[in-house]
Amino acid sequence: MHNLRWSHPLLLLSLASALHAQDLRHVTQPRIPQACTVLQAKLAPVAGRLPADAEDHLDTARIQQAMDQCPAGKAVVLESSASGQVFLSGPLALRSGVTLVVDQGTLLAASTNPRLYDLEPGSCGVLGMHGVGCKPFLFGNGIDNSGIMGKGAIDGRGGARLQGQNVTWWELAQRAKLLDLYQKVPHLIILNRVKNFTLYQITLRNAPGGHVSAHNADGFTAWGVTIDTPATARNTDGIDPGSSTNVTITHCNIQNGDDEVAVGSGGDLPSSHLSILDNHFYAGHGMSIGSGTSGGVNHMLVKNLTIDHTQNGIRIKSDPSRGGLVQQIIYQNICIRNATNPIVITPHYTDFAGNRLPIYQDVTLRNVDVLTPGNYIFSGLDAQHKLGLTLDNVFAQGLDRSHVQALNAAIIIGPQLGNLIPQGQDVTTTQAPGAQHGEPSAQPISCPAALEPFADPSTAPHLEEQIPPVDHTFYVAADGTGDFYSIQQALNAVPNTGGLISVAPGTYHEVLTITKPHIILRSPYRQAGRTVVAADKSAGDSGGTDRSATVNVLANDFLAQNITIQNNFNATHPQLPQGSQAVALLVRGDREIFDNVRLLGNQDTLLAGDAPCKAPSCAAARQYFNRCYIEGNVDFIFGNAKAVFNQCEIHSNPHSEGMLTAQSRIFPQQDSGFVFNNCRLTADSGVTNVYLGRPWRPYALVVYLNTWMGQQIMPAGWREWHPGETHSLQTAYYAEFHSSGPGAHQGQREPYSHQLTEKQAQRFTPENWLRGSDGWNPTAIQDQQP
């Protein structure tokens, strides 16, 4: 661990290469054209509210008519009057050669009527499987030499109630995140196939979706633009050039709820020659390339940038479904403060497969100072497609090697890097030529002690809005639409006091380890098969049965809902007597709840509470499995927990001989055992010769209450651990109460087993069996969950 009071130079180089990665145009400060028409506002808000009938008297027609009739090279000016400061409009089409000017103190506000934005009837203001459904507020298609200028403001009203709906645009976005759907909301400005388009001085507020998207533009300038939208407003990107060339973004102040700037490309059209200069980024997701880069991104210069209180600082992100070649990228003179992830370069933004490979070459970070601790990722795609990265005079306060991930990377380094970038995983590091000859160490660039605070320069009125509250949920989505694409990443980020992790449908190929208490892991859909955590470890290849689990719950007070956990080892390997044990779920904590969870495996699917216990007084871990589906064949529910399986289906898949349980109570007075309450015991077609359990330890305790048993259950019900060798049935406690179905075999059970009376069965109800000294009642806790 390095002393957090000191800066540690990631790399110290002295390079004199000329900067060529930038806009090829000669860009100077824009000038506002002369007016062809001046329109005056008629609406005056009172305490941020417009008149009740404002939506019945929109300004759409008169603004559109003015732009349609304005000669090229002129401007339509919107200005305040003695009676009003606000224009209220539906979608507007920008015209070639015409500039829309919103004058100082004036506000152009978007209508909240979703029907005005419909691409087809009813397509906007709803949730869906795809995200396209709305027209943007301002749209420019195939126009030249146009712009939006002025010291006024444009308000997308993302936090205002929609007409006819008790919801805001931003609330739709939050609902979409919860349900892994897409919100169909309008973007503020979309430009397509434009040439020489300019945004100048304008303030953009509260976009329902993204603020500015420029697709296939040749010549785009944003100069002195302010973007002011709450950090909690989801998917409100700032400025996104896509497949565009000759782009300058300069002197802009941006705070929003997603990437401040995200450069991307689609199809085979690249983004190239971009200059992002002299900007300030605040609460948001930082300076990004991606996630779509299939056309490539090249010749980009980011210079003189401050980043403060963002989720990410510098980020390059993509995956093999939408990647491409990213090269000749320079970041220079960058100050980063209070960013959770100061530098992230990853081709694994999601786990989507494809043949559009994300390849990152010739990426340079020069004169970068990270003023606060955070997480770093330097990753290439694989050993054949390594990240090519130069870190030139990059400093990071409080850098800790445990917060640095590096793999498949070729990194040029300096003499004082030390061991801060982990080696291995196809990571190679090379000293810069100056470092080899003992040149003096460089120094951090001069970042201000406090970065300049955000300020909205516009005097235009502010309208009433409902700012989304801070959502402390950690969202995981395999497609990259959440906060994380890996569940373990979210688990690592959750505070030590616990938190809620919402997992979108998908298959997550990873091993999870939960070491923090009070974690809730939940999918929003009751169909547990839609959200799958899968791995394929086994006792033979991982060093033991208890090391083979897909999910390891080691902390107390864990809750999982609506998720499938599976071990796929036997899908690709034969099931052998030794080494094939493959655990899906290992649980060692106390007060654990699994509701509507599917556990899939063969031998040893569920290891329930195998915590070491060397004395009779040991308190067993208590676990509650409610409405779960558990599948396997040999000893597939085993361990030493005090567990209840309530309304679960216990399913046997093919094997020559099956055992549902292998409970391992060590002492006769030990307070542990498995209780199955109102369960169903089922099996694949043709499966026979299945036992209710066998005693893994001499005092095993298993009880079935009100359980339906299929015909696969053997008449004796219970079996010795090793028949003829062990004699644990005599000391184990095996019991049933009101078993039913063809496998109940009344009167034919093993003579050492018990048939309980109603009074005896009361001891094993979920409430009584799991109460403990703290009065825990998981049935009540579970009923409170949504």
Give the up-direction half-sphere exposure of residue 749: CA atoms within 13 A in the CB hemisphere. Answer: 20
Query: Is 258 designated active site?
Result: yes
**What HEC string does 514-574 produce?**
ECCCCEEEECCCCCHHHEEEEECCCHHHHCCHHHCCCEEECCCCCEEECCEEEECHHHHCC
Write the single-letter amino acid at 311: Q
State the catalytic residue, choosing from 211, 251, 285, 651. Answer: 285
Q: How far apart are CA 106 and CA 87, in angstroms?
A: 8
Residue 493 C-alpha from the chain's centroid: 11
Lookup: tokens for 396: 């990071």
Closest to 306 measured CA to CA, from 101, 111, 208, 446: 446
Annotated catalytic residue within 240, 258, 308, 392: 258
Count of other CB atoms within 10 angstroms of residue 707:
25
Q: Are 186 and 91 in contact (CB under 8 A)?
A: yes
SS3 annotation, 240-279:
EEECCEEEEEECCEEECCCCCEEEEEECCECEEEEEEEEE
Spatial separation of the C-alpha atoms in residues 568 and 538, rounded to whole Å: 9
Instruction: Check if 215 is active-site.
Output: no
List the beta bridge partners of residue 249.
Answer: 222, 276
Q: Which residues contact 436 (CB under 8 A, 6 or more apart)?
A: none
DSSP per position, 428-461 = EEEE-HHHHTTPPP-------SSPPPP-----SP
With H, G, I as helix, E, B as strand and everything else as coil, classify residue 63. helix
Tokens at residue 21, please?
């990665």
Q: Cβ neighbours of residue 780 under 8 Å, at least 6 residues apart?
A: none
- Cα 576 to its chain centre, rounded Å, is 39
Distances (CA, A) of 458 to 107, 284, 451, 455, 564: 9, 21, 21, 9, 51
d(CA 509, CA 279): 39
Q: How far apart are CA 201 and CA 223, in angstroms?
A: 6
Nearest alpha-carbon partner for 247 in 266, 205, 275: 275
Hey, how many other C-beta atoms are within 10 angstroms of the C-beta on 299?
20
Name the region of 402 (left: φ>0; alpha: ψ -120 to 50; beta: rest).
alpha
**Which alpha helices (H) appear in 608-650, and where do they start and end?**
none
* Residues acting as catalytic residues: 258, 285
